[in-house]
Structure 1
Amino acid sequence: MQTPSKTSQLGRPLTPRLSRKAIGRAALAMFEEEESLSIPRLAERLGVRQSSFYKHVTGRQEIIELARGALVEKAPLPELNSGGLDGVIRQIFDVLRKAYSQVPALLPLLLTQPVSHPAALELYDRFVEALELAGMPKHLVIPALETLDSAAIGASLDAMTMESAWSIEEEDQSTYPHLFAAKKAVADHSVDRFAFLADVLSAGLRAAIDD
């Protein structure tokens, strides 16, 4: 008895090679490995013709949004109900920063279009629920989310670029004495920048609520 063929009589795979989820995952992998998105290269990765994409997506922007969805699927999500409002703020910031830090090349593109992928919308919906349950007034939830999102993106990009934003030669320390001394102080007393930023975000959002 012959083994059943994995292709139809027309020679097409019984399991489609291309899907929206497959496109998103491959696009995310390209951003991680090549730090860019090329539709022809993406087609090569998936082993299909470039024209095949347009049976599943409308264009480049939708592929970017599918990559956002693939990134969300990879992000581990803790229980967002511990530590009160301060704890929830820190948890949301940490989830976003860790996810964004995986693929910095994608971040500038995400900033140019609204969130529309169902997995991403579901994630933000959970963030909203957690913030409201922790005591965040409803009218401040979206501003708080935007603040946390922007801070997480900035922190992720900063971590991938340079160790310090200021370059001062030893012979120039008398020209910029305060900045030079501040740089030396942080070098002598290391500070976890991400934990510090989380503290600032938490304190700032808490202050906004109490006003």
Structure 2
Amino acid sequence: MQTPEKTSRIGRPRTPRLSRKQIGREALAMFEEESGLSIPRLAERLGVRQSSFYKHVTGRDDIIELARGSLADRVHVPDLTAANLEVLIRQIFDALRTAYSLAPALLPLLLAQPVSHPAALALYDKFAEAFLRVGVPDHLIIPTLETLDSAAIGASLDAITMESAWDIPEPHRADFPHLSAAQQAVTTSHMDRFAFLADVLSVGLKAAISGGT
């Protein structure tokens, strides 16, 4: 008796070719490597048709949020349990700034939509818990997180722009004496501007807490 030949079955693959996590990771990589997002180009990078995306995402904003989630996964969260307020602000600011510097082209898009990715929400929840632990009142938690986030994004963008934001032509320096003197002082007195920004945020938060804001 002859054994019937096996026939291949054509149908859906057992596992989908795409997942939301894959899309987020590749979108983030595209922002890092190509400084922008093109859905046709993203499909090409993933080796799928563009129509395949819409089985997993609702549109461009959804892809951006998936990229945010992938970026949140790459934030190095230090031990926040033993930190006082000043150290905690510095730790969180540095952690966010370091992560944001990986994909500066993504940052303006993140500012244009609310945080909704579970990985990003979990990250901010850890930060909120740490701030509560060191005595930040409930009603100041969200303003603190928003301020730190905005400062970290701004610092990340600032780090890749021109060396100086002030361009005063030499013949006109006398027309702006105070600004010119301040610019000269910066060149002769080294300051870590990111540490300075974190310290300013810390002082401001402490003042808000002590003042009962």
1:58-112 deviations in Å (ceiling 9; x for gaps): 1111000000001011111101123311111111111111111111100111111
What is the deviation of 1:17? Answer: 2.2
What is the deviation of 1:172? Answer: 1.8
Which residue in the other structure is 1:4 paired with?
Answer: none
What is the deviation of 1:188? Answer: 0.6
Q: Which runs of 5+ in 2 are unaligned?
A: 1-7
d(CA) in 2 for partners of 1:76, 1:124: 13
Q: Percent identity?
A: 70
1:188 equivalent in alignment to 2:184 = no
Aligned residue type for 2:173: Q
Aligned residue type for 1:134: V
Which residue in the other structure is 1:200 paired with?
Answer: 200
- Give aligned pairs, total: 204
d(CA) in 2 for partners of 1:100, 1:111: 12
Which residue in the other structure is 1:158 paired with?
Answer: 158
Q: Contact (CA 8 Å) 1:30, 1:36: kept in 2 or not?
A: yes
In the TM superposition, structure 1's runs of 4+ consecutive aligned residues that sit over 3 Å from their partners are 11-15
Aligned residue type for 2:204: G
What is the deviation of 1:11? Answer: 6.9
d(CA) in 2 for partners of 1:86, 1:9: 63
1:113 equivalent in alignment to 2:110 = no
1:13-34 deviations in Å (ceiling 9; x for gaps): 5443211000000000111111
d(CA) in 1 for partners of 2:189, 2:124: 36
d(CA) in 1 for partners of 2:128, 2:83: 16
Q: Contact (CA 8 Å) 1:27, 1:37: kept in 2 or not?
A: yes
d(CA) in 2 for partners of 1:190, 1:14: 59
d(CA) in 2 for partners of 1:108, 1:101: 12
User: Once structures 1 and 2 are overlaid, which stretch shifts more, 110-119 or 81-90?
Assistant: 81-90
What is the deviation of 1:122? Answer: 0.2
Aligned residue type for 2:91: Q
What is the deviation of 1:43? Answer: 0.3
Q: Contact (CA 8 Å) 1:81, 1:134: kept in 2 or not?
A: no
Which residue in the other structure is 2:82 paired with?
Answer: 82
Which residue in the other structure is 1:130 paired with?
Answer: 130
1:10 equivalent in alignment to 2:14 = no
TM-score scaled to structure 1, two decimals?
0.93
Helix, strand or coil for the counterpart of 2:51?
A: helix
Larger Rg: 2
1:16-56 deviations in Å (ceiling 9; x for gaps): 32110000000001111111110100000000000000111
Which residue in the other structure is 2:30 paired with?
Answer: 30
Aligned residue type for 1:69: G
d(CA) in 1 for partners of 2:195, 2:176: 28
1:108-165 deviations in Å (ceiling 9; x for gaps): 1111111110100000000000000011011111111111111111111111111111
1:172-193 deviations in Å (ceiling 9; x for gaps): 2211111111111110111111
d(CA) in 2 for partners of 1:83, 1:121: 21
Q: Contact (CA 8 Å) 1:27, 1:64: kept in 2 or not?
A: yes
